[in-house]
Chain A
């Protein structure tokens, strides 16, 4: 065995463990994260001892978190990030520093050295981005207000980790009466700012042309390589100046959120993220030092319960003040209460600098890991016990997921601003439609107006089936998230071929995605209202109302035809631009020809009248 290639052996162990443990955990209704953690415990030094050096693996697998933040960034356009600045810096700081202060305060009150208390407070105050965002993704909660709040806090922690990791080693220096290098801090800060600026400007100016150039080579694996390289390079750049790799990847993601390659990047990175994140959780499971736990089980339990309790209190206060809707509050609290991977790094740094002893470090790391193991378990408990009760309390009718088989010939997925108009038109014409929406608040609101809406995620095959997708004649996809919209379309096309899809397109890229899937009825959500505005302007500029209407309708037709012509050239920007220009030119020519014909006609008519008056 010793002679076999090491990477082959470890791949065998890791993949085998994951493939066995995750489906098992899901089968028990526990979610994949527990499966990974459990697999880690089993194969780790305290289980079957198949892996003995979990630290190295943890470092490697942390890259999964980096990739995840890149993907989160891809979903977040700069504008939306900017609108989140208050929750990030305001509420994020409240969570982190509030929790840290309370934990440290309690520790000092219990007679712990203040330096150790501070390190423990900061380390335990951090939450696990991997678990928080992982669960949000798994449960499709990213768009809810709880989801956005979790993301905001997680982002602040990423940012705050930089000064925290810089300060922790100083604690021992200050304690030892210090030979602090004052200049180093400033230089470091300048370097860090320089790198962030380089990423932002480089991302704005260079990334898109570079990706375009790579995409033109038409080699899919090279595009995948480029996507990975992009994340690795950003991470390396950030690490070289002591910044958080994940933060850098997040920035790069945000900068590419508006690019035309967003979807491709996402699909390329996604599997790597999934596997590495799984590996990360396995590594966390492996690194639980059961020797420490067994040596002082009461102390570990007290630390875990103590910091979970303090953070829960802080988070509950925040949920009330922000406010997070009552039925989302438990998820919000649970996703941020546990310790996280940054905790590991803080304790590692503190250990390296000699601020805390190896025993203390192990104890704290074990506490964090155990708290991470507890989170998914708590979530399961929440789903089974707390959530149904809260849903009932929050809005009279209980918001269970759709459960009774529905028979209506029409299903409307997504009942926001768009779906509601569709639904009301159908309803006014005496048609029954089953409405599915994954925002429980919205569903409750719709029901108050007498609509039999159901709470459920349309990207889930089982719920679609219950909604009657197998008998439906028409399925309207009006969800506002592009990715989910495409997911629903894929599901319907794979499983409910009898149903005709009518789909709302958020933008042109989305339209192309739907068109490529063969969807026949696609409507861009802004096209018609924008044309109505254009029509009003034409009228105000002197066009006859009816002429303005005709021109708007003709423009619409032309525009849709052009989109069809451009569809085959998706990804080839040069060609797209040339087709678009040609189309615009054709329309210009056609309409200027019509204008001159009209002028000619007027002149000719004028001549006619002149001739008449001449003969008179």
Chain B
């Protein structure tokens, strides 16, 4: 019955600094309140137990995605988790309101420094531009998208910065939902889906077979 569910995904945790440090920080919190799921450890064969994951999501109020940003997106395991767990008719689509009203918070790290995520930097866009798919995922499911916690230039930051960042992450997990910025946030946008828009192609892909 953990209130906070941290879904962590790092394909090479052994080489990770940021994700590992944050994951460790989260694990030091009260496990009755904060549950950490290391997807690559739990599903080394990419065989995700969607039913179990859904049951845990139902219990949680805050869902946290903790991962490095690779190619401007989430790691493949987390994407697979999303595809299989946020199912049609459960997270979205007709009757799919299981996640509505919950919070979704992203804690991500990037290799590139903050200056690179600018129109004049080599990444050419502000980092926010790469978050639109996630934000919209939350919106379609009726989840509130909380302001992400980002660590740029994660390869280069010193131990001190990393520790401060991890402590901040832990503090925020512990203090949720008493965050000052939540007061000022816009209400979750409502995505009304017209009846003739269904079925969608991605729902059809969720069940494998000929």
Interface residues of A (CB under 8 A from B): 542-544, 546-547, 550-551, 553-554, 557, 594-595, 597-598, 601-602, 604-605, 608, 611
Contacts and interface: CB of A to CB of B under 8 A. Distances in A.
Contacts of A608: 196, 198-199
B210 A547 contact: yes
B210 A602 contact: no
B199 A595 contact: no
Contacts of A547: 208-210
B64 to A, nearest CB: 27
Interface in B31-51: 45, 47
Contact of B196 (A557, A604, A611): A611
A323 B198 CA distance: 75
B199 A544 contact: no
B129 interface: no
Contacts of B199: 601, 604-605, 608
B39 to A, nearest CB: 16
Contacts of B208: 544, 546-547, 550-551
Contacts of B204: 601-602, 605
B47 A557 contact: yes
A367 to B, nearest CB: 67
Interface string B187-210: 000000000101100011001111
SS of B interface (majority): loop
B209 A595 contact: yes
Given A601-B199, A608-B199, A543 B209 contact: yes
SS of A interface (majority): helix
A557 B52 CA distance: 14
B196 to A, nearest CB: 7
Contacts of B207: 594, 597-598, 601
B185 to A, nearest CB: 36
Contacts of A553: 45, 47
Contacts of B47: 550, 553-554, 557
Contacts of A543: 209-210
Given A544-B210, A557-B47, A597-B207, 6 more contacts: A547-B208, A554-B47, A601-B203, A604-B199, A608-B196, A611-B196
A208 B191 CA distance: 67
Interface in B159-210: 196, 198-199, 203-204, 207-210
- The listed residue with most A CB atoms (<10 A of its CB), out of B203, B204, B207, is B207
B77 to A, nearest CB: 15
A546 B209 CA distance: 9
B209 A598 contact: yes
Interface residues of B, number: 11
A228 to B, nearest CB: 49
A598 B204 CA distance: 8
B189 to A, nearest CB: 25
Nearest to B198: A608
A542 B203 CA distance: 21
A381 B208 CA distance: 68
Contacts of A551: 208-209
A595 B198 CA distance: 20
A437 to B, nearest CB: 30
Nearest to A542: B210
A436 B203 CA distance: 53
A604 B196 CA distance: 12
A82 to B, nearest CB: 40
A544 B199 CA distance: 22
A605 B199 CA distance: 6
A487 to B, nearest CB: 32
Nearest to A608: B199
5 contacts: A550-B47, A557-B47, A594-B207, A601-B199, A608-B196
Given A601-B203, A605-B199, A611-B196, A594 B209 contact: yes
B49 to A, nearest CB: 8
A595 B204 CA distance: 12
A547 B207 CA distance: 9
A594 B199 CA distance: 17
- The listed residue with most B CB atoms (<10 A of its CB), out of A543, A544, A605, is A605
Contacts of A557: 47
Contacts of A605: 199, 204
A554 B45 CA distance: 10
Nearest to A612: B196
A503 B84 CA distance: 33
B85 to A, nearest CB: 15
A607 to B, nearest CB: 9
- The listed residue with most A CB atoms (<10 A of its CB), out of B196, B198, B208, is B208
B5 to A, nearest CB: 22
A539 B209 CA distance: 10
A553 B208 CA distance: 13
B74 to A, nearest CB: 20
A597 B90 CA distance: 14
A3 to B, nearest CB: 76
Contacts of B203: 601
Contacts of A602: 204
Contacts of A598: 207, 209
A595 B199 CA distance: 18
A557 B208 CA distance: 17
A64 to B, nearest CB: 52
Nearest to A611: B196
A153 B196 CA distance: 83
Contacts of A554: 47
Contacts of B209: 543-544, 547, 551, 594-595, 598
Pairs A-B, 7 closest by C-beta atoms: A547-B208, A553-B47, A598-B207, A542-B210, A605-B199, A547-B209, A604-B199
A543 to B, nearest CB: 6
Nearest to A604: B199
A587 to B, nearest CB: 14
A547 B198 CA distance: 24
B171 to A, nearest CB: 37
A551 B199 CA distance: 25
B145 to A, nearest CB: 29
Interface string B84-121: 00000000000000000000000000000000000000
